[in-house]
């Protein structure tokens, strides 16, 4: 591996003009790589056959506690449990739980019931007012619904329509808002209710991570999930789905762009989910990819798709962020711990007061885009 690494590097960095130099670096690379490989081979047999804590050695490529090696993990077999916090005051979030009720429906499939969906159920899904798993097979343990659809990427649009039809028929009175998420989406329900609180569920509106192409007013990325008002669900199911002029009738196509077109055609507004500092709340990737600037280069499709200007680094993301996508089962438990348990001792946040409620059809004014900070004038240090 080391030999290849050095080889690849020298060939890549030197242009075709400097053949001599690349030949020299190739030889140097081979020699260094060979020596390193020798050292590695020599040191390996000295390891005992079995050491109970071998996996904990730092810097070991086989360290199971290296986070990269855990990316493919299936998630814990048993529930990791929970505990109460005696001094926690959740009266405000309880109020929102009752006044901005959200039904969550999770797009899943039989292969993912155990591998992914059950981890949603044990973590953030518990905080939805109602949680429904939409699949093509019934699963008593998970509580999934068997929709009359085929599985596969090509049938997601059919599944989305069937899911909303099912919800409209069975659960429309059980919530004010209806959130669709994938089985690898993680959502902070308290923050979703805080964002939705001012809006009337009778307003035809929906929220999510807004993308620019395909639909005039934009549409919401499927992975970050999107939340429809009760009125939006009614219009989608009663008016849009049955009408071939308003909505794609067959089951193929990109589910998120297709629902975006249907909703636009029945007058449902693509809402602005940013906070008052113009920071986003719904995200199509894991937090790391939004926070760390180098992760996404400027050619990345995301920068062309994203509807609102978005900053990199800490300004990417609202302190009341709502959702992230591509979250592995293990990471769902990690996020649950970081968001709901770990606290820096002695820092207590007083919540911002709740906003006034809006009338039906009203929306909040867009947030004021922050101006780039002016470099502070440097004060001269006078040495005496």
Ligand X SMILES: *[C@@H]1O[C@H](CO)[C@@H](O)[C@H](O)[C@H]1NC(C)=O
Which residues of the chain form contacts with ligand X (CB under 6 A)? 89, 91-92
Contact present, 256 and 197 (Cβ < 8 Å): no
Q: Which is nearer to ligand X, 44 or 91 (CB)?
A: 91
For ligand X, the closer CB: 314 or 354: 354
CB of 197 to ligand X, least distance (A): 14
Minimum gap (Å) between residue 350 Cβ and ligand X: 9
Measured in degrees and rounded to the nearest 5, phi and psi for residue 182 equal -90, 170
Which residue lies nearer to ligand X by CB, 7 or 92?
A: 92
Looking at the Cβ atoms of 35 and 354, the one nearer to ligand X is 354
In 3D, which of 278, 280, 305, 277 has the Cα closest to residue 291? 280
CA nearest to 54, candidates 64, 39, 66 = 64
Element (H, E) at 118: helix 118-122
Nearest approach in angstroms of CB 346 to ligand X is: 17
Interior angle at CA 186, CA 271 and CA 356, nearest 5 = 40
CB of 91 to ligand X, least distance (A): 4
CA 61 to chain centre: 28
Nearer to ligand X, 73 or 99 (CB): 99
1 three-state secondary structure: coil
Cβ contacts of residue 135 below 8 Å, gap of 6+?
A: 108, 109, 110, 113, 117, 144, 145, 146, 147
Min CB(190)–ligand X separation in Å: 13
DSSP string, 273-291: ---TTS-B-B-SS-HHHHH
**CA distances in angstroms from 379 to 372, 373, 374, 382, 384, listed in the order given:** 21, 17, 15, 9, 15
- Give the residue at shortest CB distance from ligand X: 89
Shortest Å distance, C-beta 357 to ligand X: 17
Please say whether the beta carbons of 220 and 282 come within 8 A.
Answer: yes
Q: Considering beta carbons, is residue 92 or 291 the nearer one to ligand X?
A: 92
* Nearer to ligand X among residue 53 and residue 87 (C-beta): 87
């Amino acid at each position: 591996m080391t030999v290849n690494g050095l080889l690849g590097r020298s060939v890549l960095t030197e242009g075709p003009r400097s053949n001599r130099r690349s030949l020299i670096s190739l030889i140097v690379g081979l020699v260094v790589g060979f020596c390193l490989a020798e050292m590695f081979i020599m040191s390996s047999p000295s390891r005992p056959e079995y050491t109970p804590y071998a996996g904990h050695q730092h810097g070991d490529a086989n360290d199971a506690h290296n986070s990269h090696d855990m990316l493919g993990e299936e998630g814990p077999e048993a529930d990791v449990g929970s505990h109460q916090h005696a001094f926690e005051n959740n009266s405000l979030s309880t109020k929102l739980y009752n006044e901005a009720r959200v039904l969550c429906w999770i797009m899943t499939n039989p292969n993912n019931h155990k591998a992914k969906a059950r981890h949603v159920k044990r973590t953030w899904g518990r905080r939805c007012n109602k949680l429904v798993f939409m699949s093509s097979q019934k699963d008593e343990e998970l509580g999934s619904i068997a929709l009359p659809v085929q599985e596969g990427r090509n049938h997601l649009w059919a599944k989305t329509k069937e899911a909303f039809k099912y919800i409209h028929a069975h659960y429309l009175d059980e919530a004010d808002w209806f959130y669709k998420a994938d089985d690898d989406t993680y959502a902070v329900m308290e923050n979703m209710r805080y964002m939705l609180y001012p809006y009337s569920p009778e307003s035809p509106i929906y929220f999510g991570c807004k993308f620019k192409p395909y639909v005039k007013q934009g549409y919401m990325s499927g992975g970050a999930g999107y939340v429809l008002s009760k009125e939006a669900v009614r219009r989608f199911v009663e008016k849009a789905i049955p009408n071939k002029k308003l909505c794609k009738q067959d089951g193929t196509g990109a589910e998120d762009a297709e629902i975006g077109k249907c909703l636009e055609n029945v007058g449902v507004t693509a809402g602005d989910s940013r906070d008052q500092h113009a920071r986003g709340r719904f995200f199509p990737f894991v937090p790391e990819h939004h926070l760390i600037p180098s992760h996404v280069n400027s050619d990345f499709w995301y920068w062309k798709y994203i509807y609102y200007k978005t900053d990199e680094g800490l300004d990417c993301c609202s302190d009341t962020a709502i959702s992230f996508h591509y979250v592995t089962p293990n990471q769902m438990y990690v996020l649950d711990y970081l968001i709901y348990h770990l606290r820096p001792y002695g820092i207590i946040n007083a919540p911002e007061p709740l906003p006034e409620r809006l009338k039906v059809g009203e929306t909040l004014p867009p947030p004021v885009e922050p101006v780039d900070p002016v470099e502070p004038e440097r004060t001269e240090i006078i040495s005496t």
